[in-house]
Amino acid sequence: MTRHLETTILTYPIAGVFTISRGSRTEAQVIVCTISDRGVTGRGECVPYRRYGETLASVEEQILAQRDFVADSGSRHELVKRMKPGAARNAIDCAFWDLESKLAGVPVARALGLAAPKALTTAYTISLGEPEVMAESAAKHAGRALLKIKLGTTDDESRIKAVRAAAPNCRLILDANEGWTSDNIEHYLKVSADCGVDLIEQPLPAGNDAILGRIRHHVPLCADESAHETADLEHLRGKYDAVNIKLDKSGGLTEAVVMKREAERLGFSIMVGCMVGSSLAMAPAVLLAQDAAFVDLDGPLLLARDCEPPLRYEASLVYPPERALWG
């Protein structure tokens, strides 16, 4: 039987409003790719991201353009050479992984060499808002082990201090989403250090971050928008201390595994992150993140409802996927 590829667009309402420096959203729109073969179906989910020039329509078109390739026994290893990194390739790649696992009767975890994947401590994101609103949200979630704070305003100092006061015992990640400048970054780094911040994501715009190689890192810096695929890593040395690997950036688990291995060889700490999507999108990332220094896979926690079956979340822990979900 010829393999068959299909796509479905789904909309998940966000619990409240999710705001970063580039705007606000009340829903997450995702594309699910399915590949069927011999009565078995593999699934992968991606989240198109406008920051990278992606739309639902463009990503779905890219996925469907691979129908003949998939039907003609194409593989995920060949897919990496055929498609550029991004959401479309991620959805197909993860569907391939899921299909292979089901057909072979071998869990993806075992294929990755993970004898017994474990539950991980994930960050929980505090949306960007006025300092008192962010403090209120941080206080509500102060029992969590790790909070990720969205920043990128003209007054992030008050927001950092307000969150720290509201959640004095939490580890903190700050995510400026390219919102700081060469004029204020050294000040914000010192404020962050004084507030006991553990990590800062992408403080400056990608491609405009040379200063990071010349200033003192009072807090470790993590590349996000600057780090898409393995080829990017060499250019980040000396500027960043860690890299955030997201499947929707790398274009799937296949490339992400290679990227993670090379990042570790180059001395970077690893963060595994996500877009705002359902548990289907998080499932392969949980396996990738098994020994990561930082895990940010809270996408489903930000939704008003999740896919079925969902990942298991308990407080700050996210558990490996059951095979009914993925892999």
Domains of the chain: 4-106 (3.30.390.10), 120-318 (3.20.20.120)
Measure Cα distances from 133 to 94, 162, 167, 196 in Å. Answer: 37, 9, 13, 21
pTM of this prediction? 0.96
pLDDT score for 154: 92
Contact residues for 33 (Cβ-Cβ < 8 A; gap 6+)? 5, 6, 7, 43, 44, 45, 46, 63, 91, 92, 94, 95
Tens of pLDDT, residues 64-91 = 999 999 999 899 999 999 999 999 999 9
- Mean pLDDT along residues 242-264: 98
Residues forming the active site: 150, 246
pLDDT score for 22: 84
Q: Dihedral of the CA atoms 130, 21, 26, 35 (nearest 10)?
A: -150
Q: What percent of the chain has pLDDT above 90? A: 97
- Mean pLDDT along residues 239-247: 98
Q: Are 283 and 44 in contact (CB under 8 A)?
A: no
Q: Are 21 and 87 in contact (CB under 8 A)?
A: no
Tens of pLDDT, residues 179-235 = 999 999 999 999 999 999 999 999 999 999 999 999 999 999 999 999 999 999 999
